[in-house]
Amino acid sequence: MAAFMNSISVVTLLFLLMGVGYFLGKIGWIDGRVKKFLSLFIVNVCVPANCLTGILNNMTHEDLLASWKYVLVAAVSILINLVIAIIAAHFLRLPRSRGGVFIAQSFLANTIFIGVPVCTQLFGDVSIPYLMMYYLASTTFNQSLAMLLVSHAGTGGAKKITPAGLLHDIVTKPPIIGIIVSVCCLVIGYRPPALIMNFAKYLTNCVTPLALIYCGYIIYDLGLKNLKLMRGIPTMLFLRFPVAALVCYACCRLAGMSGLMLQVFVIEASLPVVTQITVMAGAYGADEKYCATGTIISYFLMFVTLPVIVMWLSAVA
């Protein structure tokens, strides 16, 4: 019951902060330029700082040596979700403009803008190393397969992705650079001066409120009018929440994971749709309205599914 009440409190906090973003968008304080600034600032400045404080304060050499195994577990669980989504899309027989979007939304979770606030509020900064392990696997699929799926669904043609290009896109992302720098410091036993760590801590404290305000504006920007459960969206939501959680839980158990690490992975796996997929859909000429509708509904559904998943994890983890 304590875990359930804590999750309700977290969900309420998320809702209030997202409500601030929605309201600021409605009165015109946040527009496209502010949205772009928030996105760049959170991902490129605050999240790398979060990696530094989270990893150096909560991770040991032993954790680091075992981390490759856990990244692989996350990748396998995401891959299984991808296969399930492809099978579901085949039976749904969605039009081309929606098929790739459906699959991309079904198998990938919003690990940064929603994942960081949720996990830090539920578990504290000690969850950051595990969150980043899952993010490393997730962003690899997001930058490769998700982009291919959405581009194939569009009218602009598929973007060619090469191994070298994929590796470049991944390792040049500031959050990944933050992980690499933090891991290197951990390996050589170096801890940055207190001034640097305090500076990073202040930036880290910006992640939760700004990320949720950003997500609230996204909901406003995408629009709440004419939302309806178009064909395929209920299935996508079913795959995005309970199925993804169960698949990740099974993979973690088979790998011998338990406790906090298992809980963080399952929570990360069962979060709403990645906002970037809607941006991709618009860029490649896929069904952007269909994608936006699924994204918005997944955000609202999280307020129901998160407390249930937290309560379930408290009983089985």
Euclidean distance between CA atoms 57 and 83, whole angstroms: 37
Q: What is the pLDDT of residues 135-190, one digit of tens each?
A: 989 988 887 788 888 887 877 555 566 667 767 777 788 888 888 898 899 888 89
**Beta partners for residue 109, in sequence order:** 273
What type of residue is 168? Answer: H
pLDDT at residue 96, rounded to an integer: 86
pTM as predicted: 0.86
Contact 120, 207 (CB under 8 A): yes
Q: What is the pLDDT of residues 45-90, one digit of tens each?
A: 998 998 899 888 888 877 778 888 999 999 999 999 999 999 999 9
Euclidean distance between CA atoms 14 and 18, whole angstroms: 6
| Domain 2-222+229-316: CATH architecture, name and number where available | Up-down Bundle (1.20)
Contact 213, 18 (CB under 8 A): yes
Euclidean distance between CA atoms 190 and 131, whole angstroms: 22
Token pair of 155 as six digits: 């009218």
**Quick check: helix, strand or coil at residue 109?**
strand
| DSSP state at residue 273 | B
Whether pLDDT at 12 is above 80:
yes
Q: Where are the domains of the chain?
A: 2-222+229-316
End-to-end Cα spacing for the chain:
15
